Amino acid sequence: NAGVMQNPRHLVRRRGQEARLRCSPMKGHSHVYWYRQLPEEGLKFMVYLQKENIIDESGMPKERFSAEFPKEGPSILRIQQVVRGDSAAYFCASSQTGATQPQHFGDGTRLSIL
């Protein structure tokens, strides 16, 4: 009965490198959400995906950030050419449907940029 699995738990990158964060939703869940928690701030919505589709990316920065949820495999949040301001905790959540079902969260990936 695995919950939402995120890896890696901690990721260190140097400025200009790429960061890839992975999220495997709970079994039976086909809706995935990514949130970012910056220091001293609450969680902010980034993107909502279903299999092979981006439903809502209104919270994604316009450049360098992308997300996918392929037919097979985990959802990936990709950050290109990372900068210091990308340092944050990134959380993935999943739900059975996109309606009133609660979202179940992973333990997050703590991204640190040197």
Partner 1 sequence: AQSVTQLDSHVSVSEGTPVLLRCNYSSSYSPSLFWYVQHPNKGLQLLLKYTSAATLVKGINGFEAEFKKSETSFHLTKPSAHMSDAAEYFCVVSDGDAGGTSYGKLTFGQGTILTVHP
First and final C-alpha spacing in the chain = 36
Name the residues that contact partner 1, by CB under 8 A.
4, 6, 31, 33, 35, 41-45, 48, 56, 58, 91, 93, 95, 97-100, 102-108, 110
Q: How far is the CB of 111 from partner 1 (least distance, A)?
A: 14
Cis peptide before 8 (omega within 30 of 0): yes
Residues 6+ apart with CB under 8 A from 20: 76, 77, 78, 79
Q: How far is the CB of 97 from partner 1 (least distance, A)?
A: 8
Between 1 and 58, name the residue whose CB sits nearer to partner 1. 58
Q: How far is the CB of 56 from partner 1 (least distance, A)?
A: 6
